[in-house]
Copies of this chain bind each other. A is one copy, B any other.
Amino acid sequence: MATSQGAELALLLLGGFHSMVDDVVAELERRGHPGVRAAHEFALRAIDGGADTASELGRRLDVSKQAAAKTITALEQLGYVGREADPGDARRQLLKVTPRGHELMTVGGALFDDVRERWAAQIGPAALDALQAHLGALVERRAFGAEDLAQP
Protein backbone atom coordinates (compact mmCIF):
# COMPACT_ATOMS: atom_id res chain seq x y z
CA MET A 1 0.00 0.00 0.00
CA ALA A 2 3.01 2.23 0.08
CA THR A 3 3.27 4.74 2.86
CA SER A 4 0.04 6.61 3.35
CA GLN A 5 0.00 10.21 2.19
CA GLY A 6 -0.75 11.23 5.73
CA ALA A 7 2.18 9.38 7.25
CA GLU A 8 4.33 10.77 4.49
CA LEU A 9 3.28 14.29 5.39
CA ALA A 10 4.07 13.72 9.06
CA LEU A 11 7.52 12.50 8.13
CA LEU A 12 8.09 15.51 5.94
CA LEU A 13 7.14 17.88 8.70
CA LEU A 14 9.51 16.19 11.09
CA GLY A 15 12.22 15.99 8.47
CA GLY A 16 11.85 19.66 7.71
CA PHE A 17 12.13 20.61 11.33
CA HIS A 18 15.19 18.49 11.87
CA SER A 19 16.77 19.69 8.72
CA MET A 20 16.48 23.31 9.84
CA VAL A 21 17.52 22.65 13.39
CA ASP A 22 20.52 20.47 12.59
CA ASP A 23 21.76 23.15 10.31
CA VAL A 24 21.34 25.93 12.80
CA VAL A 25 22.80 24.03 15.73
CA ALA A 26 25.86 23.04 13.75
CA GLU A 27 26.46 26.59 12.64
CA LEU A 28 25.86 27.91 16.12
CA GLU A 29 28.57 25.62 17.39
CA ARG A 30 30.95 27.09 14.86
CA ARG A 31 30.02 30.60 15.93
CA GLY A 32 30.90 30.36 19.56
CA HIS A 33 27.81 28.72 20.98
CA PRO A 34 28.76 25.10 21.53
CA GLY A 35 26.53 22.87 23.56
CA VAL A 36 23.36 24.62 22.52
CA ARG A 37 20.33 22.54 21.76
CA ALA A 38 17.38 23.70 19.75
CA ALA A 39 15.28 23.33 22.87
CA HIS A 40 17.50 25.90 24.53
CA GLU A 41 16.91 28.35 21.74
CA PHE A 42 13.18 28.06 22.00
CA ALA A 43 13.13 28.11 25.77
CA LEU A 44 15.25 31.23 25.72
CA ARG A 45 12.82 32.91 23.39
CA ALA A 46 9.96 31.97 25.68
CA ILE A 47 11.78 33.38 28.69
CA ASP A 48 12.58 36.56 26.87
CA GLY A 49 8.99 36.67 25.77
CA GLY A 50 7.81 36.90 29.32
CA ALA A 51 8.04 33.46 30.86
CA ASP A 52 10.08 34.77 33.73
CA THR A 53 9.61 31.93 36.21
CA ALA A 54 10.16 28.20 35.96
CA SER A 55 6.49 27.39 36.37
CA GLU A 56 5.45 29.84 33.72
CA LEU A 57 8.06 28.50 31.34
CA GLY A 58 6.75 25.00 31.90
CA ARG A 59 3.27 26.17 31.06
CA ARG A 60 4.33 27.91 27.87
CA LEU A 61 6.46 25.05 26.72
CA ASP A 62 3.75 22.62 27.71
CA VAL A 63 6.04 20.55 29.87
CA SER A 64 6.18 20.00 33.62
CA LYS A 65 7.75 22.70 35.71
CA GLN A 66 10.43 20.21 36.70
CA ALA A 67 11.39 19.75 33.07
CA ALA A 68 11.42 23.49 32.64
CA ALA A 69 13.58 23.86 35.72
CA LYS A 70 16.12 21.47 34.23
CA THR A 71 16.23 23.42 31.02
CA ILE A 72 16.71 26.61 32.99
CA THR A 73 19.58 25.05 34.91
CA ALA A 74 21.23 24.13 31.64
CA LEU A 75 20.65 27.60 30.25
CA GLU A 76 22.07 29.10 33.40
CA GLN A 77 25.19 26.96 33.28
CA LEU A 78 25.74 27.97 29.69
CA GLY A 79 25.46 31.59 30.73
CA TYR A 80 22.32 32.42 28.80
CA VAL A 81 20.01 33.25 31.67
CA GLY A 82 20.41 34.54 35.19
CA ARG A 83 18.15 34.14 38.17
CA GLU A 84 17.48 36.57 40.94
CA ALA A 85 15.06 36.67 43.82
CA ASP A 86 11.75 38.37 43.13
CA PRO A 87 11.46 41.25 45.57
CA GLY A 88 7.68 41.02 45.49
CA ASP A 89 7.33 37.27 45.94
CA ALA A 90 9.80 35.32 47.99
CA ARG A 91 8.87 32.04 46.30
CA ARG A 92 9.87 33.17 42.86
CA GLN A 93 13.22 33.17 41.16
CA LEU A 94 13.03 35.73 38.40
CA LEU A 95 14.61 34.72 35.13
CA LYS A 96 16.48 37.16 33.02
CA VAL A 97 18.12 36.59 29.66
CA THR A 98 21.75 37.64 29.81
CA PRO A 99 23.48 39.68 27.09
CA ARG A 100 25.05 36.47 25.89
CA GLY A 101 21.58 34.99 25.81
CA HIS A 102 20.35 37.82 23.65
CA GLU A 103 23.33 37.34 21.44
CA LEU A 104 22.38 33.70 21.01
CA MET A 105 18.85 34.64 20.14
CA THR A 106 20.03 37.11 17.56
CA VAL A 107 22.50 34.79 15.94
CA GLY A 108 20.16 31.81 16.16
CA GLY A 109 17.31 33.75 14.69
CA ALA A 110 19.48 34.93 11.84
CA LEU A 111 20.60 31.39 11.14
CA PHE A 112 17.04 30.15 11.06
CA ASP A 113 16.24 32.97 8.69
CA ASP A 114 19.19 31.93 6.54
CA VAL A 115 17.83 28.45 6.20
CA ARG A 116 14.44 29.85 5.43
CA GLU A 117 15.89 32.03 2.72
CA ARG A 118 17.68 29.09 1.20
CA TRP A 119 14.37 27.32 1.13
CA ALA A 120 12.68 30.31 -0.42
CA ALA A 121 15.28 30.28 -3.16
CA GLN A 122 14.53 26.65 -3.84
CA ILE A 123 10.76 26.68 -4.13
CA GLY A 124 10.11 30.39 -4.51
CA PRO A 125 9.37 32.93 -1.82
CA ALA A 126 5.66 32.99 -2.53
CA ALA A 127 5.34 29.25 -2.21
CA LEU A 128 7.24 29.25 1.06
CA ASP A 129 5.18 32.09 2.46
CA ALA A 130 2.05 30.21 1.55
CA LEU A 131 3.39 27.05 3.11
CA GLN A 132 4.15 28.82 6.35
CA ALA A 133 0.84 30.63 6.42
CA HIS A 134 -1.12 27.45 5.83
CA LEU A 135 0.84 25.58 8.41
CA GLY A 136 0.17 28.39 10.82
CA ALA A 137 -3.54 28.07 10.18
CA LEU A 138 -3.43 24.34 10.80
CA VAL A 139 -1.35 24.35 13.92
CA GLU A 140 -3.05 26.34 16.60
CA ARG A 141 -0.03 27.83 18.21
CA ARG A 142 0.25 26.56 21.71
CA ALA A 143 2.18 29.63 22.81
CA PHE A 144 5.55 28.12 22.25
CA GLY A 145 5.86 24.46 21.56
CA ALA A 146 9.40 23.24 21.95
CA GLU A 147 9.61 19.61 22.79
CA ASP A 148 11.49 16.80 21.14
CA LEU A 149 15.01 17.16 19.86
CA ALA A 150 17.98 14.91 20.21
CA GLN A 151 21.56 14.43 19.04
CA PRO A 152 24.40 15.40 21.30
Contacts and interface: CB of A to CB of B under 8 A. Distances in A.
Copies of this chain in the oligomer: 2
Interface string A9-27: 1111111111111001000
A36 interface: no
Contacts of A38: 10
Given A122-B137, A138-B119, A9 B15 contact: no
Contact of A109 (B6, B21, B49, B147): B6
* A interface SS class: helix
B112 A10 contact: yes
Interface of A: 1, 3-21, 24, 38, 41-42, 45, 49, 105-106, 108-117, 119, 122-123, 127-128, 130-132, 134-139, 141-142, 144-151
A144 B11 contact: yes
A15 B145 contact: yes
Given A128-B134, A131-B131, A147-B150, A139 B15 contact: yes
